[in-house]
Amino acid sequence: MTREAAVERLLDGYRRYYTITRFDGGFNIPYAEYQGIREGEKVQPPELEGESHLSAFCEYYERNGQHIFFRSNEIWSSQEEEFIFLFNIPHMTKELFEKCRDYCWEEGRRLAHIGPGHMYTYISPIFVCDTMDDDAAEALAKSKLYKSFKFSFHGWMELHTACFPVKENRLHFNRAGRCMEKNIKYVLKNFLQ
């Protein structure tokens, strides 16, 4: 079990629904049929020390709505988006976690399409590491970032965080990130025993 294998497994799981931009030299598979929003080209990876780096940025967009007779007669619409920042880190410390968390929050706010019809934006940093300090695990579990726009009339943003220390062979989440647990466990089922 290596970090690189876990990163590739996660990206294979996300590839079907997310548009993926790689920063680690991995192979991007462009989907010719997708003509929608692509914000990954605007992402500037953070400067991290040592072998730590942002491996990939995954983006998902969905738009729902209801109209009468013609598309121009729209009754309501909602737009949902999720940004996943996939990090590959040898050893997770509390300081490194906080730096990456703050980077993801600011970058996600910059990329979000806030306005009428916006329902939510989930910013989801996922960390794959070999080992993790106890204070980093505690900081991850307690991390909570949430912002609503115009009293939620223009939606909200929320931070969902997950970490997979390969040597521990278990997953860590913050409270909002628990919604990712089932999918990540399914994708990493060969790693988690």
pLDDT at 109: 93
| Cβ-based neighbour number of residue 119 at 10 Å | 16
Question: Along the 193 residues of the chain, how does pLDDT read in single tens digits?
Answer: 788 999 999 999 998 889 888 988 766 655 544 556 777 888 888 988 888 999 999 999 988 878 888 878 877 778 899 999 999 999 999 999 999 999 999 999 999 999 888 889 999 999 999 999 999 999 999 999 999 888 878 889 999 999 999 998 889 999 999 999 999 999 988 776 6
Q: State pTM to two decimals.
A: 0.89
Compute, in degrees rounded to 10, the torsion defined by CA atoms 142, 3, 83, 31. -170
| Cβ-based neighbour number of residue 46 at 10 Å | 17
**In the chain, where the domains are located:** 3-24+46-65+76-187
**Whole-number Å distance between alpha carbons of 1 and 14:** 20
Concatenated DSSP letters for 5-48?
A: HHHHHHHHHHTTTSEEEESSSPPP---TT--S---GGG------
**Whole-number Å distance between alpha carbons of 135 and 118:** 35
Q: Are 63 and 116 in contact (CB under 8 A)?
A: no
